[in-house]
Every structure is written in structure tokens, then in C-alpha cells.
């Protein structure tokens, strides 16, 4: 409990919230009114809540209109118009490719893009979940191999000195909950997300105990793979549950949660095996 309190004290939901609120501006280039409408509907579909659409539309500027800012974050072109090298053309038939390219080249804007323009939300949340799940798999394996991996430089944050990896993995899931909440247009914070955080804390000890038991029973380091896989799958299932709750405002069905965990466990085995082989190669 002391380690858990220390872990939680290092979480900063206000910083996550602040990043999500950073306004992202778009510049649109089209040849017709219809073309501008197509670009605007891509960024803010018709089912976007009216208030959010009004706010986000104030950050979208058509080329040639009055009071266009001298610089915008992202420039988006109508299909069929020659596009500048540092801008993007909407892929009408596969808009997900446009989303993917923008996010790849503007990683620092991913969180505010998801919050302010829901078309980016699914891709950003999925990336958050996979990234944190991989971090937890890496940590679960690395803490069992202190002689092989002297540092955890691949993980972008760390709590410091912990005897138990449960505190780190649970805290990392809470950090993920903050990010998903902000990406989904909600507020982040321990007091604001009490139910979700209590659920994360309650579930952590069960699957962490299972992971340790498996690691101890399989000889010659073989138990590290299921240990990492369970860390990955548990984190991924938590993330998908949070996404479901925030998107639909309803409890996460247990049968869906079990199916998600099972599928994530198979993926987690692949991820854990890759991490373990990479560690052995470095050693």
C-alpha cells in the first residue's frame, strides 16, 4: 500500500488534461463549397455533439477566408488538388489512412486531436492502450531479469524504487485511464474517476498473483513469457473496458471483457516473446 500511494503521488492528471486542451488548428484547401464541406464533415461528422462541433469549428479555417491565422498545425486538402509536401490530402475512399498519416507525423498532438476532433479518437485510444500494455509487459519481464536489463530506458516514465511491480503496473493503468478519459472528451483525475480507479486497483492483485505463480512454476525463464503476456492482456482489457464505458456510457459486459482478455492474451504472448528475445540479444 505504501508503494501504491507513492506511485499514485507521481501521477499527474492535470498535466494530461492540459495537453488534451491544447487547441489544434486546421487549415483547409478546396476548390468548391462542396469540397470544403467534405473536409469539415470528415473532421467533425454530423453526429458530433452540437456544442463540441461549434467549438472545434472555430479552430478550422478555410483558405482565403478573413482572419485566417498566419500558421496552423495541420493543412488538409480536398482530393484532386495538388498538395504541398508538408500537408495532407483526404483519402476519400480510405479516410483511416489519412488519420494514420496525420497521427504518425504529429504524435505530440494525438491527445488533443482525439479530444477535439472525434474522428481521431478510436485510433488514438487504441494506440494508448497498446503502448501502455506493452510498457507493462516490458516491465513485468524486466523486473525478473535485473542482471540482463540494467535499466528500463525504453519505458518513458518510471516510479523509482519499488520492491513490487504491482504498484508500477497498476499506476501505469491509472495513467492510461487519465489519457483515455481526456481523449474521449471527459475530465481526468483520481477524484473524477473513482469508480474506474477502484476497479483497476481491485483487479490488479488477482492477475498479478496469477502471473507470478506461472513465472515460478515454469523453469528456465519460460515463465517470463506468460508473466509478460498476462501483464499485456490485463492492461489491454482494462483499456478496452474504459473505452467502452466512456464511449457508450454503460457498463462493460462481462462476456465481452472475457473475450477481449482472451484475444489480448494471445497477442500478449507474441509481444512478450519479442521483448524477451530482444533482451537476450542485448545481454
φ/ψ of 199, rounded to 5, equals -65, -40
Cα-based torsion angle of the residue sequence 158, 165, 127, 283 in order, rounded to the nearest 10 degrees: 80
Query: Are the C-beta atoms of 239 and 176 separated by less than 8 Å?
Result: yes
Cβ atoms 77, 62 nearer than 8 A: no
CA dist., res. 126 & res. 141, Å (int): 23
Q: What is the reported pLDDT for 197?
A: 66
Nearest Cα to Cα of residue 120 among 174, 74, 80: 74
Residue with cell 528500463: 152
Polymer length in residues for the chain: 283
- Reduced DSSP (H G I as helix, E B as strand, rest coil) percent helix, strand, coil of the chain, to 5: 65, 5, 30
Q: Which three cell numbers stand for residue 48?
A: 458530433
Grid cell listed for 9: 503521488
pLDDT of res. 250: 78
For 52-65, b where at least 16 C-beta lie within 10 A, e where not — what string?
Answer: ebeebeebbbbeee
- What per-residue string of b and e applies to 16-38 under the rule 16 or more CB within 10 Å gives b? bbebbeeebbbbbbbeeeebbeb
For residue 149, the model assigns a pLDDT of 47
**What phi, psi does 159 have (nearest 5°)?**
-85, -25
Q: Say what the pLDDT of residue 122 is.
A: 96
Spatial distance between the Cα atoms of 135 and 137, rounded to a whole number of angstroms: 5
Q: What is the pTM of this model?
A: 0.83
| Per-residue pLDDT tens digits of the chain, which is 283 residues long | 555 555 555 578 889 999 999 999 999 999 999 999 999 999 999 888 899 999 999 999 999 888 888 899 999 999 999 998 899 999 999 999 999 999 999 999 999 999 999 999 999 999 999 999 999 898 888 776 654 444 444 554 454 444 456 777 888 888 899 999 999 998 887 767 767 766 765 555 555 555 555 554 544 455 678 888 888 998 999 899 989 888 887 778 888 888 998 899 899 999 988 988 887 777 6
CB 223 within 8 Å of CB 269: no
Query: β-strand 60-62 against 26-29: which pairing, if any?
Result: parallel
Domain boundaries of the chain, sorted by first residue: 2-17+120-282, 25-108
Amino acid at each position: 500500500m505504501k508503494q501504491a500511494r507513492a506511485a499514485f503521488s507521481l501521477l499527474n492528471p492535470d498535466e494530461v488534461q492540459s495537453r488534451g486542451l491544447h487547441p489544434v488548428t486546421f487549415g483547409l484547401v478546396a476548390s468548391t463549397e462542396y469540397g470544403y464541406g467534405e473536409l469539415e464533415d470528415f473532421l467533425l461528422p454530423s453526429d458530433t455533439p452540437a456544442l463540441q462541433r461549434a467549438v472545434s469549428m472555430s479552430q478550422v479555417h478555410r483558405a482565403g477566408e478573413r482572419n485566417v491565422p498566419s500558421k496552423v498545425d495541420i493543412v488538409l486538402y480536398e482530393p484532386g488538388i495538388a498538395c504541398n509536401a508538408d500537408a495532407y490530402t483526404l483519402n476519400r475512399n480510405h479516410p483511416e489512412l489519412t488519420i494514420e498519416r496525420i497521427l504518425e507525423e504529429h504524435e505530440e498532438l494525438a491527445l488533443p486531436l482525439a479530444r477535439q476532433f472525434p474522428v481521431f479518437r478510436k485510433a488514438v485510444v487504441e494506440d494508448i492502450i497498446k503502448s501502455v500494455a506493452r510498457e507493462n509487459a516490458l516491465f513485468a519481464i524486466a523486473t525478473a531479469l535485473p542482471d540482463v536489463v540494467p535499466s528500463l530506458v525504453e519505458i518513458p516514465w518510471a516510479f523509482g524504487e519499488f520492491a513490487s511491480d504491482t504498484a508500477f503496473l497498476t499506476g501505469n493503468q491509472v495513467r492510461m485511464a487519465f489519457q483515455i478519459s481526456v481523449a474521449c472528451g471527459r475530465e481526468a483525475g483520481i477524484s473524477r474517476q473513482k469508480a474506474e480507479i477502484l476497479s483497476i486497483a481491485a483487479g490488479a492483485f488477482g492477475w498479478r498473483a496469477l502471473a507470478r505463480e506461472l513465472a515460478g512454476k515454469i523453469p528456465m525463464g519460460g515463465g517470463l513469457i506468460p508473466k509478460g503476456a498476462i501483464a499485456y492482456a490485463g492492461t489491454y482489457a482494462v483499456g478496452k473496458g474504459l473505452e467502452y464505458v466512456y464511449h457508450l456510457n454503460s457498463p462493460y459486459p462481462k462476456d465481452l471483457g472475457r473475450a477481449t482478455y482472451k484475444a489480448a492474451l494471445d497477442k500478449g504472448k507474441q509481444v512478450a516473446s519479442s521483448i524477451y528475445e530482444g533482451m537476450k540479444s542485448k545481454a
